[in-house]
């Protein structure tokens, strides 16, 4: 049996048969109060007694997997769900393509798999920590609810990875599960594993950029892991993707609503001065895009990577939509052209496909981001603004990979450190920007009311009206 029926009444709702697995069930039941302590200490501040209109995963049926109701966040039913499979699953990529997938961890892949699961798992609580103060400055009840929805689901994603650690990695797994509750975003001594998950997210422009760009990295990582030959990981990630799409929606539409409102304020002001009208200037939005997009690009890892090649060869991680977009799942032939800097000049290097897997995933991500940029620019056009937003080059402002040791302008041209420093205030969010943005962030809490700097969404959540009481304060 590949999936048990959904047990919603268990202490930990699940479809992984915890009732018949006392050892793992007890281990998870011991972890549960520690998770709740972490939530209390590091989750959204001060809104624990409030009823929030949240969706909860209650099924793995793609036609209706969620239930919407008022819930207090600490009472959210964090569960463990794997996407069901009908047929015997096979390995999707690499040297063993077509052979049966693993239901237990192969010994020789144990270290790599644990690292993959821990790294993914670490991002989930990290983002909750980064966002914990934002409830106080929400521009509407609708947005506050969306923030909390993202937060509780990141909590569930942590559960998803912790289940795999407890179930498949014995004592090491239990220790890793503890450590996931001990690291802290931005902490000097025990930071979260990946860079972008230690960056401050102090205001809602950063929150929307984070959910647009950083959660979107998550989408591509989950999609690549949904192709994994380790079947429990593949099925876990595949269910996480159903929740993740709402997070991306929050980011993409949040930015779109800011852009729309800024364009309206530009028209409203006799001098086209958005700031004079209490809005967010386009230059500042562009700097926020540059900042979060570049940090998020780092999350994909090195452009040329022997690790990526090993993981693909072993069948641990595939490409985005491997099954429908690629015919050759071994990728032993062919190359990807990757720009590199030699003697301060750009040239192109041909990299064998397997070594370029990180870059192949990053290029798919960039294409997805470009789609959103085109959509936002259509909003600007319709509103009569002449401003256009853009994505910087993948080489701009990087801290990992081939471009980390050289400075580039947003067009991707190599420049000196001095040239970068002279212009970075034009290109990246500055302390003055953050101070101005924080000054704009006054809470708006009447049902149906929205802060001046953001347009209302086009519709509510789960067919509720915009003036629905999404959070009962
Ligand atoms: Fe997540
Ligand atoms: Fe997410």
Q: Which CATH superfamily is domain 18-472 in?
A: Ribonucleotide Reductase, subunit A (1.10.620.20)
pLDDT band for position 20 (50/70/90)? very high
Q: What is the distance between the alpha carbons of residues 158 and 175, in angstroms, rounded to a whole number?
A: 14
Taking CB atoms within 8 Å and a gap of at least 24, the contacts of 327-332 are: 329/92, 329/93, 329/94, 329/97, 330/93, 330/94, 330/95, 330/97, 331/93, 331/357
As to burial, measured by CB atoms within 10 angstroms (0-12 exposed, 13-18 middle, 19+ buried), residue 430 is middle
Instruction: Inform me whether the pLDDT recorded for 253 exceeds 70.
Output: yes
> 156 and 56 in contact (C-beta within 8 Å)?
no
The alpha carbon of 447 and the centre of ligand 2 are apart by a number of angstroms equal to 26
Closest CA to 329 of 316, 320, 318: 318
Model pTM?
0.97
The model's pLDDT over 66-103, given as tens digits with 9 standing for 90+, comes to 999 999 999 999 999 999 886 789 999 999 999 999 99
The alpha carbon of 146 and the centre of ligand 2 are apart by a number of angstroms equal to 11
Instruction: Inform me whether the pLDDT recorded for 6 exceeds 90.
Output: no
The alpha carbon of 316 and the centre of ligand 2 are apart by a number of angstroms equal to 22
pLDDT band for position 64 (50/70/90)? confident
The model's pLDDT over 144-164, given as tens digits with 9 standing for 90+, comes to 999 999 999 999 999 999 999
Give the number of whichever ligand sits closest to the CA of residue 248: 2
The alpha carbon of 185 and the centre of ligand 1 are apart by a number of angstroms equal to 15
- Please tell me the predicted confidence (pLDDT) of residue 65: 84
Three-class secondary structure of residue 408 per DSSP: strand
The alpha carbon of 153 and the centre of ligand 1 are apart by a number of angstroms equal to 7
Structure tokens at 248: 């991306």
Higher-pLDDT residue of 8 and 364 is 364
The alpha carbon of 80 and the centre of ligand 2 are apart by a number of angstroms equal to 16
Q: Mean pLDDT, the chain, as a whole number?
A: 96
User: What value does the mean pLDDT take over residues 411-417?
Assistant: 97
- Please tell me the predicted confidence (pLDDT) of residue 172: 95
CB burial of 267-284 (b: ≥16 within 10 Å; e: otherwise) equals eeeeeeebeebebbbbeb
Give the number of whichever ligand sits closest to the CA of residue 131: 2
The model's pLDDT over 396-406, given as tens digits with 9 standing for 90+, comes to 999 999 999 99
- Please tell me the predicted confidence (pLDDT) of residue 86: 67
The alpha carbon of 59 and the centre of ligand 2 are apart by a number of angstroms equal to 19
The alpha carbon of 254 and the centre of ligand 1 are apart by a number of angstroms equal to 18
Three-class secondary structure of residue 338 per DSSP: strand
Q: What is the distance between the alpha carbons of residues 107 and 361, in angstroms, rounded to a whole number?
A: 27
Higher-pLDDT residue of 389 and 65 is 389
- Please tell me the predicted confidence (pLDDT) of residue 43: 96
User: What value does the mean pLDDT take over residues 256-272?
Assistant: 98
What are the backbone dihedrals phi and psi of residue 279, each rounded to the nearest 5 degrees, phi first? -110, -175
> 244 and 323 in contact (C-beta within 8 Å)?
no
Instruction: Inform me whether the pLDDT recorded for 2 exceeds 80.
Output: no
The alpha carbon of 371 and the centre of ligand 2 are apart by a number of angstroms equal to 19
* CA angle in degrees (0–180, nearest 5) for 311-242-225: 5
User: What value does the mean pLDDT take over residues 377-390?
Assistant: 98
Compute the 3-state secondary structure of the chain and give helix, strand, coil in percent, each to the nearest 5. 55, 10, 40
Q: Which helix (H) or strand (E) holds 12?
A: none
- Please tell me the predicted confidence (pLDDT) of residue 4: 66
Kindly compute the dihedral angle of the four CA atoms of residues 129, 135, 137, 140, in this order, to the nearest 10 degrees. 140
Instruction: Inform me whether the pLDDT recorded for 1 exceeds 50.
Output: no
Ligand 2 is a single-atom ion; what residues have CB below 5 A from it? 215, 244, 247
The model's pLDDT over 331-343, given as tens digits with 9 standing for 90+, comes to 999 999 999 999 8
Instruction: Inform me whether the pLDDT recorded for 311 exceeds 80.
Output: yes
Write out the DSSP string of 21-63: -HHHHHHHHHHHHHHHHHHHHHSSSS-TTSEEEEEEE----TT
Q: What is the distance between the alpha carbons of residues 466 and 448, in angstroms, rounded to a whole number?
A: 5
Give the number of whichever ligand sits closest to the CA of residue 157: 1
User: What value does the mean pLDDT take over residues 299-315?
Assistant: 97
């Amino acid at each position: 049996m590949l999936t048990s029926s959904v047990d919603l009444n268990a202490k930990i709702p699940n479809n992984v048969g915890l009732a018949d697995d006392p050892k793992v069930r007890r281990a998870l039941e011991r972890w549960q109060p520690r998770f709740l302590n972490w939530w209390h200490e590091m989750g959204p501040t001060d809104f624990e007694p409030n009823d929030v209109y949240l969706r909860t995963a209650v099924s793995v049926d793609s036609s209706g997997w969620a239930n919407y109701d008022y819930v207090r966040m600490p009472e959210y039913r964090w569960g463990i769900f794997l996407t069901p499979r009908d047929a015997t699953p096979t390995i999707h990529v690499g040297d063993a393509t077509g052979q049966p997938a693993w239901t237990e961890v192969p010994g020789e892949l144990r270290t790599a798999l644990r690292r993959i699961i821990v790294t993914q798992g670490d991002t989930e609580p990290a983002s909750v920590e980064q966002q914990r103060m934002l409830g106080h400055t929400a521009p509407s009840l609708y947005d506050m609810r969306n923030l909390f929805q993202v937060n509780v689901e990141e909590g569930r994603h942590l559960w998803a990875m912790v289940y795999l650690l407890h179930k498949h990695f014995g004592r090491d797994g239990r220790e890793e599960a503890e450590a996931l509750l001990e690291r802290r975003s931005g902490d000097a001594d025990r930071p979260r594993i990946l860079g972008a998950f230690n960056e401050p997210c102090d205001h809602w422009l950063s929150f929307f950029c984070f959910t647009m760009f950083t959660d979107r990295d998550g989408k591509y990582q989950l999609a690549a892991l949904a192709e994994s030959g380790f079947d429990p990981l593949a099925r876990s990630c595949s269910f996480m993707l159903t929740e993740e799409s709402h997070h991306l929606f929050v980011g993409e539409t949040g930015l779109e609503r800011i852009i729309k409102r800024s364009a309206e304020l530009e028209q409203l002001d006799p001098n086209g001065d958005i700031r004079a009208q209490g809005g967010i200037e386009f230059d500042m939005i562009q700097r926020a895009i540059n900042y979060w997009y570049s940090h998020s690009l780092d999350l994909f890892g090195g452009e040329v990577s022997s690790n990526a090649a090993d993981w693909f060869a072993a069948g641990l991680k595939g490409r985005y939509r491997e099954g429908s977009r690629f015919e050759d799942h071994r990728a032993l032939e062919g190359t990807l052209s990757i720009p590199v800097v030699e003697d301060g000049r750009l040239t192109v290097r041909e990299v064998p496909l397997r070594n370029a897997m990180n870059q192949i995933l990053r290029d798919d991500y960039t294409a997805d981001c470009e789609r959103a940029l085109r959509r936002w620019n259509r909003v600007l056009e319709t509103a009569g603004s002449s401003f256009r937003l853009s994505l910087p080059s993948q080489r701009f402002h990087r801290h990992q990979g081939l471009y980390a040791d050289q400075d580039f302008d947003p067009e991707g041209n190599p420049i000196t450190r001095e040239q970068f420093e002279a212009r970075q205030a034009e290109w990246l969010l500055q302390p003055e920007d953050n101070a101005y943005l924080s000054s704009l962030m006054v809470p708006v809490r009447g049902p149906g009311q929205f802060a001046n700097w953001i347009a209302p969404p086009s519709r509510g959540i789960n067919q509720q009206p915009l003036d629905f009481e999404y959070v009962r304060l």
